[in-house]
Chain A
């Protein structure tokens, strides 16, 4: 068990809808990262937060947004959902924001858009 908790495990919704994915990092970790994993694209970095502040941005669509709260949990909001947004969404956390801190991944939220 990595110590990173993601909810819900599965989510099925319709096109055009909005969903919120939640992540609780490992105790003591200040950095939270969101990744999207699909069969054709592999693991794609979306966004990173460090102690409440946005730290780095990857291939995140404008329809997607995220935030990290004072208690360090994070939420990823996906809106105007399209069929192509169906994927596994992983949250990871690390102790610091630097490259020497390994990432610990949760078990993901499987999003299905119908």
Chain B
């Protein structure tokens, strides 16, 4: 079983739709959870960052962490064509990695396409 599982998609939605992206993980030591967005031919850019369980909202984006289920989600409201990209979840555990974010474990990414 891989440490982080993410459905690769592709996921195609119409403009204005609510998008739900998810990752599951197996390592209960993970405490820091991130979502990165990667456009074609670009490096990943940090979208959302949460610590432990709970929700975090930033504009049209909401990140949810359920540590009991080892499940994280990213919701995009009112999706736009400019949201078309690959979304990568990433996580790290303080105990296992000595606080170093270098040992971020990434999902393989979900490719999202928002059609006008």
- Give residues in A with beta carbon < 8 Å to B: 2, 4, 31, 33, 41-45, 47-48, 55-56, 58, 90, 92, 94, 97-108
User: Chain B contacts of A56 at CB under 8 A?
Assistant: 97-98, 100, 102-103
Q: List 22 A-B contacts (CB under 8 A).
A: A33-B102, A41-B108, A42-B106, A42-B108, A44-B106, A45-B102, A45-B104, A48-B102, A56-B100, A90-B44, A98-B100, A98-B101, A99-B31, A99-B32, A99-B99, A102-B34, A102-B46, A103-B104, A104-B45, A107-B43, A108-B42, A108-B43
Given A2-B43, A99-B94, are A43 and B88 neighbors across the interface (CB < 8 Å)? Answer: yes
- Expressed in whole angstroms, the Cα–Cα distance for A103 and B34 within the complex equals 10
Chain B's closest residue to A38 (CB) is: B108
User: Chain A contacts of B109 at CB under 8 A?
Assistant: 42
Given A42-B109, A45-B104, A103-B104, are A97 and B99 neighbors across the interface (CB < 8 Å)? Answer: yes
With a 10 A CB-CB cut-off, give which of A44, A47, A48, A101 has the most chain B CB atoms.
A48
Do A45 and B103 touch across chains, with their CB atoms under 8 A apart?
yes
Given A33-B102, A56-B103, A99-B97, are A4 and B108 neighbors across the interface (CB < 8 Å)? Answer: no
Chain A's closest residue to B106 (CB) is: A43
Chain B: how many interface residues by the 8 Å CB criterion? 28
The 6 closest A-B CB pairs, nearest first, are A48-B102, A105-B43, A42-B108, A43-B106, A56-B102, A98-B99
Chain A's closest residue to B43 (CB) is: A105
Given A56-B98, A90-B44, 11 other A-B residues pairs in contact with their CB atoms under 8 A:
A2-B43, A43-B106, A48-B102, A58-B102, A58-B103, A98-B100, A99-B92, A99-B99, A99-B100, A100-B32, A105-B43
Min CB–CB distance B16 → chain A (angstroms): 29
Mark interface residues in B82-116 (1 if CB within 8 Å of A CB, else 0). 00000010101010011111111111110000000
B60 at the interface (CB under 8 A from A): no
User: Chain B contacts of A58 at CB under 8 A?
Assistant: 102-103
User: Chain A contacts of B106 at CB under 8 A?
Assistant: 42-44
